[in-house]
């Protein structure tokens, strides 16, 4: 009986291991890519993320938010870091621009080699931030700018 329970638990864990860790959301916008990119940059403060890197030519930026409030029973655990990877891609067809937002969550640990980040499933806070970015900048940028 105990062997079959362990076998079922191992099967469940093996089946869950292929689940993607990151969450990617996309939206099409009729606005030009530079306008959508600027909207994304402007919305970072509203969703409480700090810009960590930017590529103006490629219209990509990364942002992060540190969550020091979470606790774990591991003495090496330090904090949770949510990251957003945002890209405004000129599209073809009916849409002028495609906004792509990838949300990721990392657990930061203190080790003998220094801080180490381990990617985890995307946190609910990071998903909400990515959805807010899509909602505010994924449609008509002029309309999104008026609502904030």
Assign 90 a pLDDT band (cuts: 50, 70, 90): confident
**80: which 2 tokens?**
């949770």
Kindly report, residue by residue over 34-50, the tens digit of the pLDDT: 999 999 999 999 999 99
Rounded CA-CA distance 48/123 in Å is: 15
Give the pLDDT score at 148.
Answer: 33
Q: Show me where the domains of the chain are located.
A: 21-147
Specify the CATH number of the domain 21-147: 3.30.310
């Amino acid at each position: 009986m105990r062997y079959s329970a362990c076998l079922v638990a191992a099967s469940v864990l093996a089946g869950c291991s292929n689940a993607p860790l990151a969450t990617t959301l996309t939206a099409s916008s009729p606005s030009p890519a530079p306008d959508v990119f600027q909207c994304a940059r402007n919305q970072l403060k509203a969703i409480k993320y700090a810009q960590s890197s930017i590529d103006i030519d490629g219209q990509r930026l990364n942002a992060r938010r540190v969550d020091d409030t979470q606790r774990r029973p591991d003495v090496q655990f330090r904090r949770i870091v949510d990251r957003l990877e945002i890209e405004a891609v000129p599209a073809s067809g009916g849409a002028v621009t495609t906004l792509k937002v990838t949300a990721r969550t990392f657990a930061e640990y203190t080790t003998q080699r220094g801080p180490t980040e381990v990617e985890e499933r995307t946190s609910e806070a990071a998903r909400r931030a990515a959805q807010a970015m899509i909602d505010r900048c994924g449609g008509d940028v002029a309309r999104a700018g008026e609502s904030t």
